[in-house]
Structure formats: structure tokens, C-alpha cells
Structure 1
Amino acid sequence: MSNTIKLPQKLMLLGSGELGKEFVIAAQRLGNYVIAVDRYDNAPAMQVADCAEVISMLSADDLEAVVTKHKPDLIIPEIEAIRTEKLQEFAQRGITVIPTAAATNYTMNRDRIRELAHQELGIRTAKYGYAVTLAELVDISQAIGFPNVVKPVMSSSGKGQSVVLGKEEVETAWNYAIANSRGDSQKVIVEEFINFEIEITLLTIKQWNAPTIFCLPIGHRQERGDYQESWQPAAISQQQILQAQTIAKKVTDALGGAGIFGVEFFITKDEVIFSELSPRPHDTGMVTLISQNLNEFELHLRAILGLPIPHIELLGNSASAVILATEKLDAIVFTGVAEALAEKDVDIRLFGKPTAHPYRRMGVALAKADTVEQARAKATKAASKIKLHSLNQ
């Protein structure tokens, strides 16, 4: 990346969900031109981008056509389900892929990043194994022991994840994981169940020509493998923070490039255990839309463009809570937004997804307060006030 930074640049976003939407907003505030790409029309980021393309990102031909048409300066993947071999080809042709084409290939599947951390870098992870058939899953689950966690090696936002308490639940977990697998993969990972005190995301910002820096750790809670709420700062010790930072830097240094990485950890009474990594803004990091002077999307943009990040400041104890759909809906309208916004230091983001189905994330409530506990309560209360309806009802 050159030391001479010229704006605007042409950015191609592969994946146009709610995280991509916030990134597009950040990019356009600095005058950049953004092409939003996804597998369906009117995805959230498309609604604010300069132009949009609907393609299959698992098709090398579709990717070739859209890159040839638009000639972007940078390609920025927002999802895992991409033909990553094609991204490596683009990189060989001189197009910058964020954070790198090789890193995107590594992190597309949970198996590759787990093996990089555990086998190549010697980092402590949960015990794990893989299965490509139900029979293999039964054998590996028994070898690792119960309870364990089963999930697809490639999925979106934790979908397809189950906690398996005994042998009689293995088949159900297999079916759920395969049904929610993204891309070509029919492979699942089985993990040791870690009895953690808290699960955190450490947003790690890798820069082209400056040191790696970190946001304060973000605590989060999941259900069905998907994030439900997050808060910042997470209540862990300074020693645990330093351990997490050391591990995160080791993994991101191995991946290279620049941008923000969402590095997840299990924090137990005695250990800081690496869990997963996403080479892009993280869903739990949406709390930074209210908690920091620079949110995770602005930090990602600055890092990939080589712009300075002189200071990251926590603006207050903060939390986010998701707004979920409870039924299948088209032509969606929301009620309760005014009631949610009536309380001080509460904000709402509605993502603009064109359709809803049970448990689909449709928005997020954000809150600040004197304590993290108060912020969590305010965000959860605000989210509960917002209801989804069909315009046709």
C-alpha cells in the first residue's frame, strides 16, 4: 500500500448485509465509490451503495465478470461464501483483496483457521475434529466427549450450531449443521465444550504501515449459535486482555494484510482460549456504533485505505441487543421505534432487509449508561419494544 493516499477509491464489497451497509456509509463519508455485490437484490448495503450487482459469489465466472466490468481498486469480502481461489487470482493480477486473498481463503472455513492457530502457531484452542458423514460425527463426538459443540465449517453468523448433550442428539445436530452450511461444504466441526465465564470479541486492527492496535474487549451472548447481545467493555482482567492481544496479534500477523479482525475468545477462570476469527467487522462489534469515537466500520475503512488512527476512545459503558423477526414476512413495517427512542442514550439501526423469517436479525438497539449492566438492560428493553408487521396486514 502506497504512502501516498488518494481519495476517492473504488471499493467492491462482496456480501451486502447489515455490516456491509455500515461500512458503505463510512466509505462514502470519505467520498469513496462503492459497488455492493450479493446473491439477492436490494440487500442492505445495496440501498446505500453507488451501484449494485446480483451474482453468485461461488461462481468464478460471475466474479470475473463483475470485477472486469467495474475494475475496483480494492475487493472487500464481507462474507465467507465466496470462491476464494478466484480472489487469489485477482490478487495475482494486482488487485488488492482485504485483508489478503490468502487470509480470505484461510478464514472461509473454520477448519483452516483452527488448524493455523492450533497446529502451525501452537495456540490453545478447544479440542476439535471434523466429520463429513453422520457416522463420522457419531464417532468423533464420542471421542471428544459430551457435551460438545457441532457446527458447519462454513456458515453465516453462527447458524447451524448446536450444543450436543449426548449420543441421541448427534443426528439432529448433523441435520441442523448441514442445513445451515454455506457454500459447497458438507463438513462439520465438533468442538470440546468450554465451560467459560465469558465469551469475548477482541477487535484487532492491522495496519499497512503502523502497529496493530485493539479496541477494548467486547462481551457477547449467543443463542442458537448467533449473537443476541454484546457489551463493551467486557469485565476481564488486564492480564487476560494482554493475553488475548498477544494471541490475536500472532494470528493476524500470520494472515497479513490490513483491516479489522474480529477475534473471538473463551475466557475461563484459568485460561484465554482462541475460538474463531473473522477478517472483517464483526456482528458483536455493532456495539461500537454507540460506544466508541470511531466505530468498527470506520476503523476497518481507515486501516485498509492506510489512513491514520490516532486514538480509539470509549465513550461510555455500552451495549447492543438484536431485533429479531418471529415469523416470515414480506413488505415489512416496524412499530415501537418512537417508544424505543424515547429513552436517553438509546439508538436504533434498522437494516432494511426486504424479507423476514424466524430469528432473522432485522435491526439492533444500542444504549449507553453508567454501568454495563444498565446499558444491557436499556438495549434489551429498547429492542423488545420494536415489532415487525407486514405492510399488507
Structure 2
Amino acid sequence: MVNNHALGSPLGTQRTKVLMLGSGELGKEIVIELMRLGAWVCAADSYEGAPAAQVAHEARVLDMANPDQLDALIDEIQPDIIIPEVEAIATQELHKAVDAGIQVTPSSQIAAICMDRERLRVLAHETLGLPTTPYRFAGSYQELVAGAKAVGFPCVIKPIMSSSGHGQSVARAADDLEASWAEAQHGRRAADDGEVSRVIVEAFAPLESELTVLTVSSSAGVVTCQAIGQRQEDGDYRESWQPVGLDQKVLDRAHELAVQIVDGLVDVAHQHQEPGWGVFGVELFVLKDGSLLFNEVSPRPHDTGMVTIMSQRLSEFALHARAVLGIPVSSNDTRLSIPQGMTAASRAIVVEGDGEVVFTGVEQALSTSDSELRLFGKPAVHGHRRMGVALSTAAGTDAAREKTRSLLDKLHIDVLPADQNTSIA
């Protein structure tokens, strides 16, 4: 188990080398925080010009789901730490890296569990006893029909291997199941491998809201951040805010469930002599009666956690960097830094079109008090893509959310015609 990393100046030869697998907007913030602490970072992704690649010491382009390409990259870089920031990764190579003495964050075992909804749900509900929606697994259309009948309609169908709402659908009656099965097969990860994807079919819960509880595992143990409220569209983040104006008993229970699932995952890591360090984004459902259900957990900083740039003493990215480097993280590090009665909010800047995205009016937008912008610098958009985030603080949730909306209204966004050579992930 790695617990002491050498950090130093850019001219140092013994400082910690970190390999980022995935170089999106979250990875970019993590790279910046790692570099502030003296680590050397190589950012890898499937396309050139990814956000984190723009700031890292070095960058590589490869298919990270290809075992041979990933193995060659690890052999070339010889990292001390590997940080997976996407799920389309050849996890068997991460296991090999651990055997070679490389620290995988939070662990190779956790990465494999969290990218597989079946393994994660079995661990959370059947092993750890966390409350969840009624569910069944199905490996064929016939099993899906039986599973939907068991949990009832409406029900949600998701591929076992997917993220960000890809392949997910709601079946409101038996006649919808054929289309849901087709959507799951089309939208899953590695959809061109010719194999049938297993799915999870879940009862449709009477949701009041959804929460993310950022939970940090470090050399000092497990601590949580204040719960984050969120709004999604088609399974993808659009807004988040912190703190959440819910009854304290509900919030206390949310933190208990978050610690329970992260403790369970870290125990698995320890069983394989891995530290299990890093930030986890624990997603929970709040039902109309105030009860809570576990949904999923991401073994990395969470999209909704962008709000922590404005709200906390240390953002989720700074917390992640410290944890993976073996630096203790305490509850003082996760505390809110905004005054009592204030709320921080974030709003995704989602752009539709085909081509390069150009922002103007940034100076007008940033004239809004207590506000920030993060423009990710992604090379292009084909369809729709998250290209930035607006951040604000105000007195109360509604005011903070409205402030981010008005900030976006001051931006002008153009999509220039796509160059024929432009390629993005």
C-alpha cells in the first residue's frame, strides 16, 4: 500500500508521477490540483486537445479500452499512481498495474465494481444492506419481460455497463419493453463487441429529489461533504446546489448511507492490499415520504461537485488530489466556506450544434457578483455537449440557481462550422 509520495519542483527526478486515464473537465481540475502539490502528470484520452491534456505536463491519445494500448502506455510512463477518470478502461490492465506496485485510485477492484451496475448493486443491497429500489437483472429480452413483471410498471431499464444516462429508458407498459431492450443494447459501453448486454430493471421510485454526497477516503479515514442537490435531464447533470435545504434527519441519514457504501468499497480495496483513497460521488434518491434509497456511486469526483469550487474550503478536486497523494483529509477540509444562509449553485453550459464553440460576452457574464465561469476548452461539439459551467452564490437556493441562469443569459455562444478533420470523443 502506497502511503508516502515524493513531491517536488519541476526539475525533480524523484517526484510522484501520475497517469490520468480520462482528460475531461473534471480531470482538468484534478490535474491542476495535483500539479499545485508538485506531482508530474500525464493526461490520456481518446482524442487530441482534451481539457486535462491542455494543462498536464504531457498528454497521450489512445483507446483506453484496448488492453494492448493501455498496457503499452503504462509501460512507457511508469507511473506511481493511476487515476481512472472515465469508465471505458480495460480494467484487467489496472489489476496488472497493481500487481506491479502501482497505486490505482481509489483501487483497481473498486473501479471494476463501480463500472458494473450488477456487481455494485449486489454489494450495496445484498451484502451491505443499503435500501434500494426493487430490481432484477436480465441477460435476454425474455428475462427483461419477467423482471419488469416482477418489479411492476413503470420501470427503468439500464445497461449494466454504461454511464451518464446512455442506454437508459423508462418502460411504462409491457409494449415499451422491446424498445427499452434495443436502447440498452445500443447505448451501453462497447456496443460494437457483438455480445448481449445484461441490464438492470428497477421499479420507478416516487422521487422528491436526488442528492449527491461527496465522500472522501484518505489516510485519515472517511469523511463527507455537505449533501448536494441536483437537477438532471436524460440522466445527465444540468444543475447542482449546496447546501440542500432538507430536514436534518434526512441529511444525517444521507451521510450515513454514503459512509456505509464507501466503507464497504474501501474494505474490498484493503482485502486486495490497495489503499482505496479518493473522492466518491454517492448518488441517493429522496422519496416523497422522506426516506432514502441508494442509487449509484462514482469512484471519482462527480459532475454535480463542480459547485464545490464556490462552496467549500477545498473543492472536490483538491480533496481528491490530497487523498490520492496520501495526505490526510479531515472534516475541516470538507466544510463549507460560504456564509451561513448562503447557497452555491452550478449550471452546466450545454451547447448543441456541429463544430467549434466560441464564447463571447464573458466580461459581461463575469460582471455578475459572486460568480465564476469554467469554460472547458473542448475542441468541438457534434450534437450536444457540456462545454462549461456557471457558478454563483446567493442568499438561498432559488436565488443562487436563478443567478447562474442569468449569468448564462449574458453569454453569447456561436458554433462555427465543423472542420472535416475535427474529431472528438
TM over 0.5: yes
Structure 2 partner of 1:314? 336
CA distance change for structure 1 residues 30 and 225 in 2, over 3 Å: closer, same or farther? same
Q: Distance in 2 between matches of 1:130 and 1:386?
A: 45
Higher mean C-alpha deviation, range 223-232 or range 244-253: 244-253
CA distance change for structure 1 residues 32 and 19 in 2, over 3 Å: closer, same or farther? same
Structure 1 partner of 2:6? 6
Q: Distance in 2 between matches of 1:218 and 1:135?
A: 39
What is the alpha-carbon root mean square deviation over aligned residues? 1.9
Q: Offset at 1:186?
A: 2.2
CA distance change for structure 1 residues 156 and 45 in 2, over 3 Å: closer, same or farther? farther
Q: Offset at 1:338?
A: 2.8
Structure 1 partner of 2:240? 230
Q: Offset at 1:387?
A: 4.3
Structure 1 partner of 2:273? none
CA distance change for structure 1 residues 154 and 200 in 2, over 3 Å: closer, same or farther? same
Matched, 1:267 2:282: no
One of 193, 200, 205 as aligned partner of 2:204? 193
- The alignment-based identity, stated in percent, is 46
Q: Offset at 1:53?
A: 1.2
SS in 2 for 1:359: strand
Length-normalised TM-score, structure 2? 0.87
Structure 2 partner of 1:388? 413
Matched, 1:182 2:189: yes
CA contact (8 A) 1:160 1:225 kept: no
Q: Offset at 1:391?
A: 3.5
CA distance change for structure 1 residues 382 and 248 in 2, over 3 Å: closer, same or farther? same
Q: Distance in 2 between matches of 1:363 and 1:105?
A: 29
Matched, 1:365 2:390: yes
SS in 1 for 2:205: coil
SS in 1 for 2:49: coil
Structure 1 partner of 2:93? 86
Higher mean C-alpha deviation, range 15-24 or range 356-365: 356-365
CA distance change for structure 1 residues 5 and 90 in 2, over 3 Å: closer, same or farther? closer
SS in 2 for 1:253: helix
CA distance change for structure 1 residues 74 and 315 in 2, over 3 Å: closer, same or farther? same
Q: Distance in 1 between matches of 2:198 and 2:404?
A: 36
Q: Distance in 1 between matches of 2:244 and 2:179?
A: 33
Structure 2 partner of 1:244? 254
Higher mean C-alpha deviation, range 26-35 or range 375-384: 375-384
CA distance change for structure 1 residues 355 and 275 in 2, over 3 Å: closer, same or farther? same
CA contact (8 A) 2:352 2:384 kept: yes
How many pairs are equivalent? Answer: 391
Length-normalised TM-score, structure 1? 0.94
Structure 1 partner of 2:40? 33
Structure 2 partner of 1:123? 130
Q: Offset at 1:299?
A: 0.4
CA contact (8 A) 2:215 2:225 kept: yes
One of 66, 78, 100 as aligned partner of 1:71? 78
Matched, 1:296 2:316: yes
Q: How do 1:100-139 and structure 2 match up within 5 A?
A: 100-139=107-146
| CA displacement 1:39-86 (0-9 Å, x = unmatched) | 122111111111111111111111110011010010110011111122
Structure 2 partner of 1:330? 355
CA distance change for structure 1 residues 298 and 136 in 2, over 3 Å: closer, same or farther? same
CA contact (8 A) 2:355 2:382 kept: no
Q: Distance in 2 between matches of 1:390 and 1:20?
A: 24
CA contact (8 A) 1:364 1:383 kept: no
Unaligned 5+ runs, structure 2: 8-14, 267-275, 419-425
SS in 1 for 2:383: coil
| CA displacement 1:214-239 (0-9 Å, x = unmatched) | 10000111111111101101122222
Query: 4+ residue runs of structure 1 moved beyond 6 angstroms?
Result: none
SS in 1 for 2:384: coil
AA partner of residue 199 (structure 1) = E
| CA displacement 1:78-124 (0-9 Å, x = unmatched) | 01111112211111111111111111111111111111001111111
CA distance change for structure 1 residues 191 and 336 in 2, over 3 Å: closer, same or farther? farther
Structure 2 partner of 1:149? 156
